[in-house]
Chains A and B, each alone.
Chain A
Amino acid sequence: MHEIDEAIQFRPASGNPIFRMRGLSYSYPDGVEAICGISTDIFPGDRIALVGQNGSGKTTLIKLLSGLLKTGGGELSYKNEPLDGRLLEQKSLETGVLFQDPDDQLFMHTVLEDAAFGPRQQGFSSVEAHTAAQRALRQVSLDKMAYKAPHNLSYGQKKRAALAGLLAMEPGVLLLDEPTANLDPSQEQVFLDLLKNFPGTLVCISHDLIFLYELCDRAVVLDQGRIHHDYTMRELVSQRHTLREHGLDFSFRLVVAPQVPEHGKSPHENPHSGGGRVSDRTPKQPVVAMQDYNHRYPDGTLALKNINLAIEKGGRVSIVGENGAGKSTLLSCLVGLRQGKGDYFFSGNPVTRKVQKKLWRRVGIVFQDCADQLFCPSVKEEVSFGLRRLGCSRAETEAGVFRALSMVGLEGFEERVPLHLSGGEKRRLALACVLAMEPELLILDEPTAGLDPRGEELLIQILRDLSVTLLLVSHDVFFIRELTGRTLVMHQGHILEDLPTRDFLTDERLGNLNGLAYTYRVQNTRDIQTLQHEHEHEHSHLHYHLHSHPHRHGELVHEHPHEHAHQHLHRFVHRHPGQGEKHDHAPRRYHEHDHPGHDKEPHDHSHD
């Protein structure tokens, strides 16, 4: 482990901080130390990215700041007063906390009532509270949904409604826990705009450093409950070794060269699974084929319209589309959870009602929220569940469990409880459960949701090495580009385009249609690439050096070399190509440089 940055104060302590932490600690009831000796200040107007691996103490720190947890030790003050008792109540009305799951936060009967809850608790009358709530709903573009019940909103709408509940209180501080997790790009952009326009102090937890780079100016890196670094966001993203040490290195996402080979085929793709319209090619026997397939929800909504689709063996196909485009419904039909009308063939055989019930033997799916798939008391039971249903013997099951866990890097986790695994481990376990059953078609629904960069990198390595037919539903352009050679664009229940991934990625029209035109992400990626390639910093040190300058000895004016010492700042521009690679760095101790005007500076010797 690297050393903790001693100079952790981001800025000189000036003015009155909103939060002042000195030796702040907290331990869970089971004795596990979550926060350990944190000392820092949060000033008005700060925009802080709170980053670190899963389990580093970020959420606990947010809960301490919001007063939901009582400090276990040290000092925590809010506006120069210790945070307890009456002040705690006052602070909760001045601070907004946005939780990761919006369903936790929307507890009232309608969106409007929920947004008005905070102002009512602040002491405003019903009319004033509803006025504030309406204003906040307008800010998040949900004024048209004011009287809708929260459970009838989409996920993105719920997130915005939760934010509206905070904005209505006009808080001075916003504490955000993964504000954009699981949002599609267009919703993410809406959220970003809202937060950028927020005039107060922001503390934001996220694994998405590109988003944080756009939003925050200060980065606090937590590791095992301690602050390891506290510096600018630019410094954080530019130092790959620091990012890597904390499991935050997202540089693998910053690859400039296109990874999709010619003709839209991924490096791992079967020669038959490349891009091009289905109708343009003469495919071999496809694993999946749908013709004129429709699906209608029980309430009459036509969710899938005239779907025509063919995926050949070994093909790697992505499905993109805005929320509500019909992607998840299509997956449900493919895996046999729903049945629509039209022709559906699996490996050339029509999927009748009888065949549909047995599709689980041949199709594996990893849900967006993989916790929905984990219900057994141990990892081993979880992975062996599907194998037992397949009728495998005990020995085959043991071997299958071992093989699947090895594939996803979870060897030794057999006796662990799935519920207690981290987000990334749960995701890999859900994948192992499916891979153990050796499906002919593997479906991944938003595999990167909630993963930290290390988890993402690990997942992409696993998926690259698989030789299975892959269907990926994602908003993550990087994953789409890395893993698939063909992209289906869905819009309002039908497949709008079926084209090579490379063509899709360069088609701005389709990007805009699906909200995948990440303007700020593209720009930030370029900026970060430049920063990681070359960055500058400055440091001061004491110089002893010889130089000559005219000086007087009584009547005599002369010039000769002599030595003296002084301290000044040096500015360097150097490169950080990556861990393990050569580091082009100007030497600190011995290096040549000019000292313009130094003779005017204070000297340690007399010139008289």
Chain B
Amino acid sequence: MADVIHIPLWYLPLLVLLPLVALAAAAVWLRRLAHRQSIAGEEPDWSVPPLASEKGDDSMLHRWDVRCKIVTIMIFSFVIASLSHLAPALAAVGISLIVLAISKACLARVLFRLLALAGFLGILAVVMPFTVPAHPGDTLVVFAGLDWLGLNMRGLLLAATIAARAVAIALLMEPLLSTAPLPVTLHGLSRLGVPEMASQMVLLSHRYVHVFRQEARRMSSGMQVRGFRKQTDFETLRIVANFLGMLFVRSFERTERVFEAMRARGYRGRFPEPVKLRIRPADILIAALWMAAAAALITYDRVIL
């Protein structure tokens, strides 16, 4: 039998709307902060490598062998995803924050990642407390006069746990991806058994997604200056289909030209190795320590709690 707490109706906006407003305000603040952080004051010095490791001003994560880093962070992420209690999930967030601080990652990019999650987590936080089925021992908060609308505290806790797990994993993505150049990370993946062709495709996609995006934007502008405005009608569908078709044809032609350019410069199916990878004892030690932290979290979550 669930414990039911009756509270006055005016608590409803306090408990539901205010957190929503607070979340929206936090999202706006995060967006502004991220935007401010992303505005470069001066043009960076592009004659030196942008990554700290290549400048000598590096962190432990920059020096860490990329294969160890990928494997360790992936395993740690799966461990976080398997946590079922809020306390270990919050501990995982703490560990992720420490890793983030050690890696000296760009705050703006971290904030943008969190912003991408904010909407999903916000909906989860609102919906779950009202939709989780009541089990014996659950605490239900019922608003006077609205007996059908019970706020299940277990649902709220569950939503908070999911949010903490998602944030902890999202915080780790920046240390994983920004502490080595993309070609090095992809090279590490190849050495871990991911097909080399897949890595090359990711690398080329990363290069050309910007080109295709600019091309699409220019084409969209070309349509706008001739009066195109999206509407919910068949004509709009036809025009958008034409636009996508043309974009596809142009992209296809470009891929052919890119391949020709690659062949003309001696490409025979393989990109040169960006770095020689070598695992040192220190790399193994860091991975072992991190795995120990993961084991501790699992133990705390499954055995102690």
| Contact (Cβ within 8 A) B227 A146 | no
- Beta-carbon contacts of B255-284 to A below 8 Å, as 1s and 0s? 001101111111110011111000000000
| Contact (Cβ within 8 A) A92 B210 | no
| Contact (Cβ within 8 A) B218 A107 | no
For residue A335, which residues in chain B have a CB less than 8 angstroms away from its CB?
A: 225
Within 8 A of A (CB), among B200-217: 203-204, 206-208, 210-211, 214-215
- Beta-carbon contacts of A342-373 to B below 8 Å, as 1s and 0s? 00000000000000010011011101010111
For residue A143, which residues in chain B have a CB less than 8 angstroms away from its CB?
A: 47
Interface segment out of the listed A120-128, A245-253, A514-522, A551-559: A120-128
| Contact (Cβ within 8 A) A151 B47 | no
Contact partner, B50, options A97, A147, A151, A371, Cβ 8 Å:
A147
A residues contacting the other copy or chain, number (CB 8 A) = 70
The A/B interface has a contact count, at CB < 8 Å, of: 153
For residue B133, which residues in chain A have a CB less than 8 angstroms away from its CB?
A: none
Assess A144 versus B47: contact at CB under 8 Å? Given A335-B225, A364-B225.
yes
| Contact (Cβ within 8 A) B211 A92 | no
For residue B271, which residues in chain A have a CB less than 8 angstroms away from its CB?
A: 117
How far is the CB of A468 from the nearest CB of chain B, in Å? 16
Contact partner, B250, options A118, A371, A373, Cβ 8 Å:
A371
Nearest A-chain residue to B54, judged by Cβ? A147
- Beta-carbon contacts of A127-161 to B below 8 Å, as 1s and 0s? 00100000000000001111111110000000000
- Beta-carbon contacts of A230-242 to B below 8 Å, as 1s and 0s? 0000000000000
| Contact (Cβ within 8 A) B265 A299 | no
| Contact (Cβ within 8 A) B183 A109 | yes
| Contact (Cβ within 8 A) B225 A372 | no
For residue B265, which residues in chain A have a CB less than 8 angstroms away from its CB?
A: 92, 96-97, 117-118, 121, 165-166, 169
For residue A13, which residues in chain B have a CB less than 8 angstroms away from its CB?
A: none
Assess A360 versus B225: contact at CB under 8 Å? Given A68-B263, A146-B47, A369-B218.
yes
Assess A365 versus B260: contact at CB under 8 Å? Given A92-B265, A372-B215, A372-B218.
no
Give the docked Cα–Cα distance between A145 and B263 (Å): 25
For residue A376, which residues in chain B have a CB less than 8 angstroms away from its CB?
A: 242
Assess A151 versus B207: contact at CB under 8 Å? Given A104-B254, A335-B225, A369-B218.
yes
B300 on interface, CB distance cutoff 8 Å: no
Most buried by A among B223, B228, B257, B265: B265
A176 on interface, CB distance cutoff 8 Å: no
Assess A68 versus B260: contact at CB under 8 Å? Given A373-B226, A375-B219.
yes
B249 on interface, CB distance cutoff 8 Å: yes
Assess A390 versus B227: contact at CB under 8 Å? Given A107-B207, A150-B207, A375-B242.
yes
Give the docked Cα–Cα distance between A96 and B265 (Å): 7
Within 8 A of A (CB), among B46-97: 46-50
A386 on interface, CB distance cutoff 8 Å: yes
How far is the CB of A471 from the nearest CB of chain B, in Å? 14
| Contact (Cβ within 8 A) A145 B47 | yes
| Contact (Cβ within 8 A) A375 B243 | yes
Give the docked Cα–Cα distance between A147 and B260 (Å): 24
Give the docked Cα–Cα distance between A43 and B223 (Å): 49
For residue B249, which residues in chain A have a CB less than 8 angstroms away from its CB?
A: 419
B19 on interface, CB distance cutoff 8 Å: no
Contact partner, B226, options A122, A146, A386, A419, Cβ 8 Å:
A386
For residue A307, which residues in chain B have a CB less than 8 angstroms away from its CB?
A: none
Nearest A-chain residue to B38, judged by Cβ? A299
Contact partner, A126, options B211, B257, B266, B272, Cβ 8 Å:
B272
| Contact (Cβ within 8 A) B218 A367 | yes
Assess A365 versus B225: contact at CB under 8 Å? Given A92-B264, A99-B261, A299-B39.
yes
| Contact (Cβ within 8 A) B227 A386 | yes
Give the docked Cα–Cα distance between A26 and B38 (Å): 52
Contact partner, B257, options A104, A110, A121, A165, Cβ 8 Å:
A104
A89 on interface, CB distance cutoff 8 Å: yes
For residue B39, which residues in chain A have a CB less than 8 angstroms away from its CB?
A: 299-300
B181 on interface, CB distance cutoff 8 Å: yes
Assess A107 versus B246: contact at CB under 8 Å? Given A364-B225, A372-B215, A386-B227.
no
For residue B243, which residues in chain A have a CB less than 8 angstroms away from its CB?
A: 375
A440 on interface, CB distance cutoff 8 Å: no
B40 on interface, CB distance cutoff 8 Å: yes
B166 on interface, CB distance cutoff 8 Å: no
Within 8 A of A (CB), among B12-60: 38-40, 45-50
Binding site for A on B (CB under 8 A): 38-40, 45-50, 181-183, 203-204, 206-208, 210-211, 214-215, 218-219, 221-229, 239, 242-243, 246, 249-250, 254, 257-258, 260-268, 271-275
Closest 3 CB pairs of A and B: A389-B227, A121-B266, A120-B272
Could you list 18 A-B pairs, sorted by A, with CB under 8 Å? A68-B263, A99-B264, A105-B258, A107-B262, A108-B207, A109-B203, A117-B265, A117-B267, A118-B265, A122-B266, A144-B47, A145-B47, A146-B47, A147-B48, A360-B226, A372-B219, A373-B219, A386-B227
Further pairs besides A68-B263, A377-B242, A385-B227: 20, Cβ < 8 Å = A68-B264, A92-B266, A96-B265, A97-B265, A104-B254, A104-B257, A105-B258, A107-B262, A108-B207, A121-B265, A121-B266, A144-B46, A151-B210, A299-B39, A357-B229, A360-B226, A371-B250, A373-B219, A375-B242, A433-B226
